[in-house]
Amino acid sequence: MNLVFDQTSDKQLKRAMYDSFEPIKNSLQEERSPLAENMAELTFADSEKSAPLQAADLIAHQAHVYAKAAQGKDDHPVGPVYFRLLARFRSMEDFHFFNARRFSAASTSLRRHRP
């Protein structure tokens, strides 16, 4: 998994992101976390030219629409547009940020690994 963020001229922000990424990645690797197996690198790109960022924006919007409609219910059906975007979607377990409980668990895990 490559983490690609929109280009920014804020050098302090970029440095902070780079400085945080490696320690988190190393910590996850030391713990043999499943997340670590998929983490590759952190990069920045121009969102007007970067197809991955444009795709991420589209998916994020559809995820927002879904989350708003689901109101935290695990069994809320996924709409057709969102479903097509998630071509390999098999179950609710494929994506962990659908509701507050799952987001909270992931957020807590990441906070433990902050440098």
Residue 88 is predicted with a pLDDT of 65
Confidence (pLDDT) at 74: 74
Q: What is the pTM of this model?
A: 0.55
Domain residue extents for the chain: 3-112
Beta-bridged to residue 4, according to DSSP, are 43
C-alpha separations of 70 from 51, 65, 77, 79, 99 in Å: 28, 9, 8, 11, 8
Per-residue pLDDT of the chain (115 residues; tens, 9 = 90+): 788 889 989 999 999 999 888 888 888 888 888 777 778 889 999 988 988 888 888 888 888 888 888 887 878 887 888 777 776 666 655 554 555 666 666 667 666 665 5
Q: 63 vs 2, 97, 99, CA distance in Å?
A: 20, 9, 10
Q: Is the dihedral of CA 32, 33, 37, 42 positive or negative?
A: negative
pLDDT digits (tens, 9 = 90+) for 88-108: 666 655 554 555 666 666 667
Given its phi and psi angles, is residue 32 left (phi above 0), alpha (psi -120 to 50 degrees) or beta? left
Inter-residue contact 42 to 68 (CB < 8 Å): no
The answer for residues whose C-beta is within 8 angstroms of residue 97's C-beta and 6 or more apart is 63, 67, 103, 106
